[in-house]
Amino acid sequence: MIKASKGLRRRTRQKFRRRARERGLSPITRSFVEYEEGEKANIVIDPSIQKGQPHSRFHGQTGTVIGNQGRAYLLEVKMGRKIKRVIVNPEHLRKAK
């Protein structure tokens, strides 16, 4: 038997799948969106851009922007009783409504 992969993107075939009309490269304007401190943002991982992806466990979570780190944003995400800090590039974020 072959040993199972232990990479960061393991078991994400269904989670990161895109619908047929959304496939291919994402719009470039997504990387220019600015977020203010205290603003809510949804983490929606874009599989076509590997750089700046958070761990797959944060896909679909909502966090609060607490600062910048280079061109990425630092978010606080509540997971159960804990608050986690996640570094995410803007391509993987959407403004929360």
Per-residue pLDDT of the chain (97 residues; tens, 9 = 90+): 899 999 999 999 999 999 999 999 999 999 999 999 999 999 999 999 999 999 999 999 999 999 999 999 999 999 999 999 999 999 999 999 8
Amino acid of residue 60 = G
pTM over 0.85: yes
Domain of residue 76, residue span: 20-95
Q: Does 87 fall in a domain?
A: yes
Q: Does 12 fall in a domain?
A: no
User: Residue 97: what pLDDT?
Assistant: 87
Long-range contacts of 23-31 (CB under 8 A, 24+ apart): 24/48, 26/91, 30/90, 30/91, 31/89, 31/90, 31/91
Q: Does 4 fall in a domain?
A: no
User: Total structural domains in the chain?
Assistant: 1
User: Residue 18: what pLDDT?
Assistant: 93
